[in-house]
């Protein structure tokens, strides 16, 4: 069995790359999670609520840091064009960082807001600078097929994040390190990527040719016009509950909810992210092939990934609650009670990545935008209506999962319809 697995990893193709990235993803996430049995006892749920609310704000802003131009890189053929796309992504990142610095300075100066998360907002601009650079670097690494860099960078990010959280916990439960651990982990990842791609980057930055960033934005306008809003809506659907609970209900419940999402996000940020990257690389190989091949790849990948997600969901449903209490401690019983419901999110993350990249490939970005915006509007409406109920937290959690799952199924149906339609002569 071990020999077969090793042989599969060495083979070329979607599932071999998925195994490479997935193994690294799981390993890197387990490395980060190794500190949670300690930090879950060093910090209070309210501290994790502050971090979750801050992380939700960061994630909602992050897509604008590159206008999603990095998604175009794996599909670009010429190196000069890839260089222009990369440089334009960095220009956008730096510009947004400067704009956010002015906005947050204005918020502090005006004293307009009063919330426990407010003192941490100054971390947002440098975090966006790091996050946008990471997106551009990973896009370039995918274009150049730097698979080792893609795989090992995950360990650097997870290890540094766990270290920052643990040091902060031992240092009188320093919440500043807990909140900024995400930015510090991205910095560590960037430093590793720089070392691995040093020759590429020297060539990029040593080229004195002026980047035609306006031309790049015009040639790839589908990405900021359609892909960016749909990506934002997709992230909104994932992180809005955390932001809503932390801003309008209770930081303690937001902390409990964020810890309940931990096993689900472990799957998403390891196996789900690995599948997304592997599938995107595999789609790039179909540039010269017909749409019939894309349909075959989509159906085959959908079947395999659905079986994988179903097994993971069942494991979380049956074992997640007692394991979470055992690992994190009795103060997280409220989080553990949500796990059976949240296990339904696992297949949604896989389906979303599959449909997103497939529809992008056949230039159906409007369908992605429509689906994600519709799902976000329904989610927002549900929260605003049921927020008025007495003790609405658990009702909102169930509505969030149900809305996500139903739209995931609808997303699959629409993707297959448009792929089938595009494959007809």
Q: How far apart are CA 143 and CA 75, in angstroms?
A: 8
Q: How far apart are CA 407 and CA 375, in angstroms?
A: 7
Tens of pLDDT, residues 319-358? 888 988 998 888 999 999 999 999 999 898 888 888 888 8
Distances (CA, A) of 122 to 172, 181, 385: 22, 14, 33
Q: For all residues of the chain together, what is the average pLDDT?
A: 78
Where is 325: in which H helix or E strand? helix 291-328
CA angle 387, 410, 350 (to 5 degrees): 90
Residue 227: per-residue pLDDT: 78
Q: Which of 403, 409, 122, 389 is nearest to 236 (CA)?
A: 403
Tens of pLDDT, residues 201-231? 666 666 656 667 777 788 888 788 877 887 8
Residue 9: per-residue pLDDT: 40
Give me the sign of the Cα torsion angle 157, 160, 162, 168. negative
Burial of 111 (0-12, 13-18, 19+ CB in 10 A): exposed
């Amino acid at each position: 069995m071990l020999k077969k697995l090793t042989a599969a990893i060495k083979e070329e193709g979607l599932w071999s790359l998925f195994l490479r990235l997935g193994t690294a993803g799981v390993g890197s996430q387990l490395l980060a999670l190794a500190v949670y049995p300690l930090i879950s006892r060093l910090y209070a749920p309210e501290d994790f609520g502050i971090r979750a609310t801050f992380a939700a704000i960061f994630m909602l802003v992050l897509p604008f840091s590159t206008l999603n131009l990095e998604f175009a890189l794996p599909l670009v053929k010429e190196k000069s064009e890839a260089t222009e796309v990369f440089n334009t992504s960095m220009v956008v990142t730096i510009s947004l960082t400067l704009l956010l610095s002015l906005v947050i300075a204005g918020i502090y100066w005006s004293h307009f807001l009063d919330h426990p998360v407010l003192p941490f907002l100054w971390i947002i601009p440098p975090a966006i600078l790091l996050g946008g650079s990471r997106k551009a670097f990973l896009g370039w690494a995918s274009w150049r097929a730097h698979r080792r860099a893609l795989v090992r960078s995950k360990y650097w990010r997870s290890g540094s994040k766990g270290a920052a959280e643990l040091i902060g916990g031992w240092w009188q439960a320093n919440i500043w390190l807990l909140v900024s651990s995400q930015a510090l982990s991205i910095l560590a990842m960037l430093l590793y990527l720089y070392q691995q791609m040093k020759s590429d980057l020297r060539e990029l930055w040593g080229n004195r040719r002026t980047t035609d960033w306006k031309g790049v934005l015009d040639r790839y306008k589908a990405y900021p016009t359609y892909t960016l809003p749909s990506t934002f809506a997709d992230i909104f659907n994932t992180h809005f509950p955390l932001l809503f609970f932390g801003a309008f209900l209770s930081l303690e419940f937001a902390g409990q909810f964020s810890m309940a999402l931990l096993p689900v996000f472990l799957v998403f940020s390891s196996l789900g992210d690995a599948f997304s990257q592997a599938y995107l690389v595999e789609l790039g190989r179909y540039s010269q092939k017909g749409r019939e091949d894309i349909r075959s790849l989509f159906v085959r990948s959908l079947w395999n990934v659905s079986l994988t997600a179903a097994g993971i969901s069942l494991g979380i449903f049956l074992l997640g609650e007692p394991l979470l209490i055992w690992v994190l401690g009795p103060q997280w019983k409220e989080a553990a009670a949500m796990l059976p419901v949240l296990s339904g999110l696992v297949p949604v993350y896989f389906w979303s990545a599959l449909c997103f990249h497939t529809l992008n490939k056949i230039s159906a970005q409007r369908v992605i935008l429509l689906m994600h915006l519709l799902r976000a509007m329904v989610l927002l409406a549900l929260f605003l209506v049921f927020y008025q109920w007495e003790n609405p937290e658990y009702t909102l959690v169930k509505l969030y999962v149900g809305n996500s799952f139903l739209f995931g199924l609808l997303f699959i149906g629409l993707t297959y319809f448009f792929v089938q339609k595009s494959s007809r002569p």
